[in-house]
Amino acid sequence: MRKEDVRTEKDIREYLEGWSDFEKAVYIATFRIPKGKVSTYGRIAEAIGRPRASRAVANTLHENPLWPVVPCHRVVCSDGRFGGPTKWARGRRKHVVEEGTPVVDGKVVLNEDTLF
């Protein structure tokens, strides 16, 4: 399967055949975040049943082979910051702003309207 053909959770599982169950779960949970919303690494970890694995979630998303289908730019730190290298953080911030997510002083405004 080609990356361009990935459109559903089933497609993600097929594309990631041979990857770990943890990685697949992270990418599927991230795939579910709608445009205009964000989640945190910790919330993704909780959603997949691994509440103490937020750093592992971040490391997994760092290797995202399915961007933009799996919108890893919608996952932020627990305080709304964009983690990772400055250049990448700037690009991710630009994408969420374009999607309508409020950002103030370089951080996503985290509230019930923005969190998924």
Report which residue type is found at 55: R
Q: Catalytic site residue 77?
A: no
Q: In whole angstroms, what is the distance from residue 62 CA to residue 69 CA?
A: 14
Q: In whole angstroms, what is the distance from residue 12 CA to residue 27 CA?
A: 8
**Residue tagged 């370089």 (tokens):** 106
pLDDT tens string 56-104: 999 999 999 999 999 999 999 999 999 888 888 999 999 999 999 999 9
Annotated active-site residue in 16, 48, 72, 75? 72
**What domain range is 55 assigned to?**
3-108
Q: In whole angstroms, what is the distance from residue 27 CA to residue 116 CA?
A: 15
CATH code at 88? 1.10.10.10
pTM of the model: 0.94
pLDDT tens string 37-58: 999 999 999 999 999 999 999 9
- Count: domains in the chain: 1
Length of the chain, in residues: 116
